[in-house]
Amino acid sequence: MSEYRATVAWQRQDAETFTDARFSRGHRWTFDEGVEVPASASPRVVPLPMSVAAAIDPEEAFVASLSSCHMLTFLYLAAKRGFVVDSYRDEAVGLLAKNEDARLAITRVTLHPAIRFGAGAQPTAADLDTLHHQAHEQCFIAQSVKTEVRVEPAAAESAR
């Protein structure tokens, strides 16, 4: 078993009343060896200026964690199969909607991986389907959530 830790810290500003709910949602996430990430409620949920548009919000982080986990697992599996991946880019999209209990939730995350393969063995369409399926099945994050996760890869590119 492994443990993963994050520190989430927020501080009320002196000028903020707080009980009027007009306080900044800006805060910091700290990971591992001190990496700090500015975070906030999404401006789609809490209007500006009480949120911070330039900061990462929990919904974006959720989508990014699913995408990152899928990518890391895919890269490992591709390497084991002898395919050289030169680049991998995913424009992942999460959908905030009402779930079956009529509560707001990220109900679907769609991954759009665009992968460029280097020289050497090139995966077939069937190979790519298998790699993405296995990556999804082995991704710890995808196996930890009940959100629907779709993978809609772009056409793979080989080295020229």
Q: Is the pLDDT of residue 160 over 60?
A: no
pTM above 0.75, yes or no: yes
**pLDDT digits 0-9 by tens, 58-80:** 999 999 999 999 999 999 999 99
**CATH classification of the domain holding 7:** 3.30.300.20
- The structure tokens 């050497």 sit at 120
Say what the pLDDT of residue 159 is.
60
Same domain, 28 and 97: no
The tokens for 61 are 């982080």
Domain membership of residue 158 (yes or no) is no
Domain residue limits at 88: 58-151
**pLDDT digits 0-9 by tens, 25-64:** 999 999 998 899 999 999 999 999 999 999 999 999 999 9
How would you classify the pairing of strands 35-39 and 85-90?
A: unpaired
Q: What b/e sequence results for 111-139 when a residue is b if at least 16 CB atoms lie within 10 Å of its CB, and e otherwise? A: bebebbbeeeeebeeeebeebbebbbebb
